[in-house]
Chain A
């Protein structure tokens, strides 16, 4: 069974703080993704990575950065948290290849920025 774990289920941070969200997968997947889920907007891709140290911007990268130093770990960084970054953050991973569409998700981190 693929397992994707996220470091926290719930997180409360103050405006301006630097926030780290960690994601670890145990299936040796090349591809990893960070999404945020907001009511009425579905899942929106923030960043993804297709290999160690490789990253690509998704649809809404502003205010975020990522780090992938090891294959199994993909970190999302909020450089200076703002209230509009209050959201559910979901990490996912998938197999490599040109048709690696099925993504496996972690349980999510509910982040509140006050």
Chain B
């Protein structure tokens, strides 16, 4: 059962425009969400995160929005640049019953973003 879902396998955007990547989750116990970016032949790198007590977090061109009632988060990239072309993964984590998480993350399937010059 896929607890974190990215339903768009790919997204194509013109340089300078906004890119919006979406992610849905099913487990209401998730309390922290992250976005990772992955270039071919490299490991994923952390991009931005958001705690469940917030509904927005911004870092430069990147903004993550969280809608807890809809169990939905989105990553906005404005303006998009060709160097943003990569696979984007959303991930979620939760504190387990023992009060720890060991940092376990559950990842979505990924969305391939292509930004055209």
A positions within 8 Å CB-CB of B: 4, 9, 31, 33, 35, 40-45, 48, 50, 56, 58, 90, 92, 94-95, 98-108
Contact = CB atoms under 8 A, between A and B. Distances in A.
Interface residues of B, number: 29
B101 A101 contact: yes
A90 B44 contact: yes
B43 interface: yes
- Tell me what chain B mostly uses at the interface: helix, strand, loop, or mixed: loop
A3 to B, nearest CB: 11
Interface of B: 4, 6, 9, 32, 34, 36, 41-46, 49, 89, 91, 93, 95, 99-110
Nearest to B44: A105
A50 B102 contact: yes
A82 to B, nearest CB: 23
Contacts of A48: 102, 104
A108 B109 contact: no
A58 B9 CA distance: 24
A95 to B, nearest CB: 8
A42 B109 contact: yes
A62 to B, nearest CB: 17
30 contacts: A9-B41, A31-B103, A33-B103, A35-B107, A40-B9, A41-B109, A42-B6, A42-B107, A42-B109, A43-B91, A44-B107, A45-B105, A90-B43, A95-B103, A98-B99, A99-B101, A100-B102, A101-B32, A101-B34, A101-B49, A102-B46, A103-B46, A103-B103, A104-B46, A105-B43, A105-B45, A107-B41, A108-B41, A108-B42, A108-B43
